[in-house]
Amino acid sequence: MDIKITNITSESFEWERPGIWNGMHFYGPGRMHKVTISTDQGIEGIGWNGGTAAVRPNEFYRPYVEYYKSFLIGQNPLETEKLTLDLGEKQNKILGSAGLHTQVLAALMIACWDIKGKVKGQSIHTLLGGAQKRVRAYIAGGYYAKNKGLKELQDELMYNVNELNATAVKIKIGDPQAGLATDMKRVAAARAAIGDHIDLLVDANCAFDLPTALAYAKEMENYDVYWFEEPLAIHDFKSHKTLNAATRLTIATGENYYTLADFETLLENKGASMLNVDATICPGYDVALSVAKLAQEKGLKIAPHGCQELQLPLVAAVPNGELLEYYPPEVDELRKELFYPKLKLDSDGYVTIPDTPGIGFDLNMDLLNRYRVG
């Protein structure tokens, strides 16, 4: 189809919420950056960054959109693979290989995929491969928070299991004020609350050096932990190799990798056995799908990180999509009304993939416009 990009707009939103933190970062206000791509055929596509626990500076997004806009006007939005290469790898000398600009490019490429789905009358999930119609989800949470002790952590997890139908839940470790003994009390409390039939995932958000990660892994082997996520600095591939070889735990990582080359290096070092690729951090679905196929070739699975409405098409597109990360309203109350249709876990802990052309989800702009900052 002969279709050209005619305009691109950038919008930013910010809202207050109670502070939460993990092993490395404090999350204050909720934030979202939205891009809209218009075409000469009257078809629009949207993409966004945010909508989860992450807090990234809104003020940097618009300049990058304007930079990419100068290249994208007049281009065919259906040629996502070419555009991703031209504005990604081929811009490394100018912008560097990774950073906020890559996340902006991801939003733009997701918007192009949204257009592609609408043009073809198919969901992004189908266009990417459509291997699964339903996929199991885990509830992301278990953050540190003010006045949140072990009882409150247990209450949260039991709500996720009993009210949200979770068959897998995740908690955070790695707060520098906590330490091994205190964090193991969190892990033990979590396992005691959910019992043996629910999978327990544990996430350090890159908080540890190798000796600390090894010590944590040894202790967590006693609690049937499903995976140990981001234990180390992302590019310390040598330490990933050592840790992965030393523990029975599944080592999961990849949410902060921007390129296929990052994942290739990780796997060459045998540094992980679960890949948390994020289509909003690496530059969109084309690169993320390449990562998923690489994992499949190596006999590994993916469990994408980030905003579930955008990661769902990816994880369900491939046969090795293992788990969808699902952020509940308890992480951010605005999530109750932020997206529609509302994505919920079915009674068995799985979610069903919508077959609406494009992304399959829209943003509640009546709600978001109350929090517009740019």
Task: Indicate the Cα dihedral angle 348, 349, 350, 352, nearest 10°.
Answer: 80
User: Is the distance from CB of 244 to CB of 273 less than 8 angstroms?
Assistant: yes
Token pair of 12 as six digits: 């930013």
Give me the amino acid identity at 374. Answer: G
CA atoms within 13 Å, Cβ hemisphere of 91? 18
Q: β-strands 168-172, 30-39: how paired?
A: unpaired
Between CA 74 and CA 129 the distance in angstroms is 28
- Tens of pLDDT, residues 51-100: 666 667 888 899 999 999 999 999 999 999 999 999 998 888 898 888 89
Show the tokens assigned to 324. Answer: 């969808």
- The CA-atom distances, in angstroms, between 128 and each of 1, 172, 233, 345 are 19, 31, 30, 22
Give CA–CA dist 312/325, Å, rounded.
9
What's the pLDDT tens digit per position in 272-317?
999 999 999 999 999 999 999 999 999 999 999 999 999 999 999 9
- The pLDDT of 104-123, averaged and rounded, is 98
pLDDT of residue 53: 60
One-letter amino acid identity for 55?
A: V
What percentage of the chain exceeds 70 in pLDDT? Answer: 99
Q: Which two tokens stand for residue 14?
A: 């910010």
* Least confident span in 55-59, 106-110, 164-168: 55-59
Q: What does the DSSP 8-state code read for residue 253?
A: E
pLDDT, position 51: 67
Q: What is the mean pLDDT of the chain?
A: 95
Q: How far is CA 272 from CA 161, 240, 243, 251, 252, in A?
A: 28, 7, 9, 5, 6
CA 319 to chain centre: 18
Complete domains list, the chain, with CATH: 5-121+365-371 (3.30.390.10), 126-362 (3.20.20.120)
Per-residue pLDDT band for 24 (boundaries 50, 70, 90) equals confident
Going through the chain in order, the beta strands assigned E by DSSP cover 5-15, 20-21, 26-27, 30-39, 45-50, 134-139, 168-172, 199-203, 225-229, 251-253, 274-275, 301-302, 324-326, 339-340, 350-352, 362-363
Cα separation of 280 and 106, whole Å?
5
- The whole-model pTM stands at 0.96
pLDDT over threshold 90, residue 4: yes
